[in-house]
Amino acid sequence: MSKRGIKIVGTGSFVPKKIMTNDDLAKIVDTSDEWITKRTGMKERHYVTGEEDQTLLAENAARKAIENAGINREDIDVVVVCTVSAEYYSPSSACLIQGRLGLRNDIICLDVSAGCSGFIFGLETIRALMMARGAKYGLLVGAEVLSKKMDMTDRGTCVLFGDGAAAAVLTLDDRPYFSTIGVEGDEEMIHIKVPTGLIHMNGQDTYKFAVATVPTVIESVVKKAGLTYDDIDHFILHQANLRIIESIAKKVDQPMDKFVVNIQKYGNTSSASVALALDEAYKGGIIKEGQRTLLCAFGAGRTWGAVII
């Protein structure tokens, strides 16, 4: 643990206007609102239409975060975009964001691919890069267009995912920073094969992995910080399944009102999930300055991570 931490100074999010409800999906695949709601807690999700794409979502979320932070774009030294659904293998989504936003050209821009753990891996990456460069500000974006990656005949998977983006502007901070991160390389549980593959997910294995791993990850980072669960004001977990969040809340013996939940509105937005919930919680007055918030996610590759900010 380094004494040099990070502080979030602004957040922003952006989702497509088109809403796909459970009833809408029931017209496409053999499912129902009752089936989806009972098993996932999801009611609707957003899909891109027309010329909307991952870069557009990322750009708009980034613009809102910069505006919310009230900073000069010229002071951004690092851009990291977390995604598994960018339009291009190359150039990176982060490079496209640099161009769209008109940022300086002597900065580092790169993408991070860690599935639904993306935003946590992104926090670790951007913090390290900012420390190495003595950066004033960094821009971290999670953005996904998963509606283009779904097999609409796979009713167990296609109902889960949605499109969206969220961003955070960060600065280095002298308050302690605590994190834990890990990976158990695996390609079977969740994958999107190149070049034009669709999402494959083993739902049962993913559920078992999440409920077994996440409580241990949370315990690890809380111990590193010398805290107890009661010292955490808010928990923001990857929005994969309401039953997973409820199970984890029970395992750490914390009330559900400390867990930020917006899965009913957006479904699973992968790398954007934690950031989208963070932005809503902050702008909704749930998270206040100085409170301790624990962010935790798990995803493809059997990745996991947690951060206390």
Q: Give mean pLDDT, residues 188-210.
A: 81
- Residue 8: what pLDDT? 95
Q: Is the pLDDT of residue 2 over 80?
A: no
In the chain, what are the domain boundaries?
Answer: 5-173, 178-308
238 belongs to the catalytic site: yes
Which of 16-20, 32-36, 78-82, 152-156 has the least mean pLDDT? 152-156
234 belongs to the catalytic site: no
- Residue 234: what pLDDT? 98
- Residue recorded with tokens 């957006």: 266
- The candidate with the shortest Cα–Cα distance to 241, out of 263, 258, 256, 260, is 263
Q: Give mean pLDDT, residues 196-212.
A: 84
- Tell me the pLDDT band of 190, cut-offs 50, 70 and 90: confident
Q: Is 23 helix (H, G, I), strand (E, B) or coil?
A: helix
Per the model's pLDDT, the better-predicted residue between 10 and 188 turns out to be: 10
- Tell me the pLDDT band of 3, cut-offs 50, 70 and 90: low
CATH 3.40.50.720 fits 5-173, yes or no: no
Contacts of 9 (CB under 8 A, 6+ apart): 69, 71, 137, 169, 170, 171
268 belongs to the catalytic site: yes
Q: Give mean pLDDT, residues 109-118.
A: 95
pLDDT tens by residue, 229-255: 999 999 999 999 999 999 999 999 999
The sign one gets for the Cα dihedral 200, 57, 107, 5 is negative
Written as six digits, the tokens of 267 are 């479904």
Q: Give mean pLDDT, residues 33-55.
A: 96
How far apart (Å, rounded) are the C-alpha atoms in residues 33 and 27? 11
- Residue 58: what pLDDT? 98
Which strand ranges, in their side-by-side order, compose the sheet holding 178-183? Answer: 178-183, 303-308, 293-299, 234-237
Q: Of 82, 109, 116, 296, which one is the catalytic site residue?
A: 116
- Residue recorded with tokens 């034009």: 196
Q: Give mean pLDDT, residues 89-104.
A: 96
- The amino acid at residue 299 is G
Do the domains 178-308 and 5-173 match in fold?
A: yes
Phi, psi of 173 (to 5 degrees): -145, 150
Q: Give mean pLDDT, residues 125-147.
A: 97
178-308: CATH number: 3.40.47.10
Q: Give mean pLDDT, residues 224-233.
A: 96
Q: Of 46, 238, 241, 296, which one is the catalytic site residue?
A: 238
Contacts of 220 (CB under 8 A, 6+ apart): 180, 306
Q: What percent of the chain has pLDDT over 70?
A: 99
Q: Is the pLDDT of residue 186 over 90?
A: no
Written as six digits, the tokens of 217 are 């990850």
- Tell me the pLDDT band of 1, cut-offs 50, 70 and 90: very low
Q: Is the pLDDT of residue 196 over 90?
A: no
Q: Is the pLDDT of residue 169 over 70?
A: yes
- Residue 302: what pLDDT? 85
